[in-house]
Structure 1
Amino acid sequence: MNLINRFVPKNDKLQLLHTDPTLTDAMSERLISWFPKIPREYVVVCIGTDRSTGDALGPLTGSFFSEMKPKHINVYGTLADPVHAINLEDHIKLINAQHKEAFIIAVDASLGKMTSVGSIISDVGSLRPGAALNKNLPSVGDIHITGVVNISGFMEYSILQNTRLSLVVDMAKSIAALLEALDQQLTYNRPLPAIIASNQKRNRGVEA
C-alpha cells in the first residue's frame, strides 16, 4: 500500500499508475471530496476518438462505464457516439440544456514525461481537450481525470496515433472502475453528508 498518498491534501491533484492496487479506493476518495455537498446531476464527458489509439482512451472509458449501467452518472462519449474536437461544442450545449447546473467530470487522454506514461491523474477544475495538439477547444469539467498514454514533446499527433492499444484499454478499464466506484457512492436525492451518516448508522446496526 502506498501510505504516502494518505498525507496528500485533498485539494491537491492525485497521480497513480493505472496498475496501482490502491487506485480505485484512493482516487475515488479524493474525487468525492471535491463533489458538491448539495446534490446535483452528475455527468461524465469522455473525450476522444476511435480513429487514434492514444486518443481512444475517452470513448473506451465511456463504453466500459456505460456497460456497468451507472445509476447516478450520465455518460457522454463512447466508441459508438464519441465526443471529439468536431462535436465538442454541440455536446456541451446539449449537456447544458438537458442537465441544468450539472457537476461535470471530464475524462481525456494526455501526453507527459516517460516516467508518467501509464499514470492516471485526477485534479480540480476543467481541462482543455486537444491542448497537446494546439487545438483551440472549449474547456470542460468541474473536475477531470486524465490518462498519460504516451510521451510528449515531439510530433504529438503521430505519437497519439502510434500508442499501444493494450495500454489504452487497460487504462480505460481502470478509469471506468473508478467511475463505477463514484457512482456507487452517489445519490441524486440525498447530499453526500447524508450518505456518510447513513453508513455510520448502518455500521451501528441502526435502520438508515
Structure 2
Amino acid sequence: MLVYGTMVKPIHALNMTKYITEIKNTHPQSKVIVIDVSLCDEDEIGMITIRNGSIQPSNGIGNNCGEVGEISIRGYVAPRGIKVIDYDTDLCFNSAMAYTIAKGLKEAFR
C-alpha cells in the first residue's frame, strides 16, 4: 500500500489537483482511499467513519475540490458552523485519530 499525504506533508485544497493527477497516472488501476477530517455535531466529535464512495475534501469549509476516492475515511474533529481557522483542535487528539486509522488500515491490508 502506498501512502500519499501525511500530517507533516498533507494533501490539501492547494495541492490536491497535482497529487490526484499523479496518483491516477502512476496507479491507474488502484483504488484510492481518502482520509479527511470533517465537521460534525458535537456528540460525533472523535468518531471515525468508513464507507464505500468518494468524499468532497474541504467542502465543510466552503472549498469545492470535487469528489475524490473510491473509499472514504472521515475523522470528526470539530463542530459544524465554526470557522476552522479559529477552532483550537488539540494536535494530540488529531494524532491519536490518525494513529487509530493507520492501525486499522494496517490490520485490514495484512
Return the TM-score normalized by structure 1: 0.51
Superposed displacement of residue 80, structure 1:
4.5
Is the 8 Å Cα contact of residues 113 and 152 (structure 1) preserved in structure 2?
yes
- Structure 2 CA distance, aligned partners of 1:153 and 1:81? 27
Shift of the alpha carbon at 1:153? 1.4
Moved over 6 A (4+): none
- 1:112 and 2:13 correspond: no
More helix by proportion, 1 or 2?
1
For structure 2, which runs of at least 5 residues remain unmatched after alignment?
none
Q: Residue by residue, what CA displacement relative to the aligned partner does 1:28-47 show, whole Å, maximum 9, x if unpaired?
A: xxxxxxxxxxxxxxxxxxxx
8 Å contact 1:125–1:143 — kept in the other structure?
yes
Q: Which amino acid aligns with 1:75?
A: V
Q: What's the RMSD between the two structures over aligned residues? A: 1.2
Structure with bigger gyration radius = 1
**Number of the residue aligned with 2:30:** 102
SS in 1 for 2:3: strand
SS class of match (1:175): helix
Pair 181,87 (structure 1): closer, same or farther in 2 beyond 3 Å: same
Distance 2:71 2:105 in 1: 13
Query: Superposition pairs for residues 1-208 of structure 1, below 5 Å?
Result: 73-159=1-87, 162-184=88-110
3-state DSSP class of the match of 1:132?
A: helix
TM-score, structure 2 length as denominator? 0.92
Distance in 2 between the 1:81 and 1:164 partners? 18
CA distance in structure 2 between the aligned counterparts of 1:94 and 1:163, rounded to whole angstroms: 31
Q: Say whether the 8 Å CA contact 1:111–1:132 is kept in structure 2.
A: yes
Instruction: Tell me how far 1:102 sits from its aligned partner.
Output: 1.2
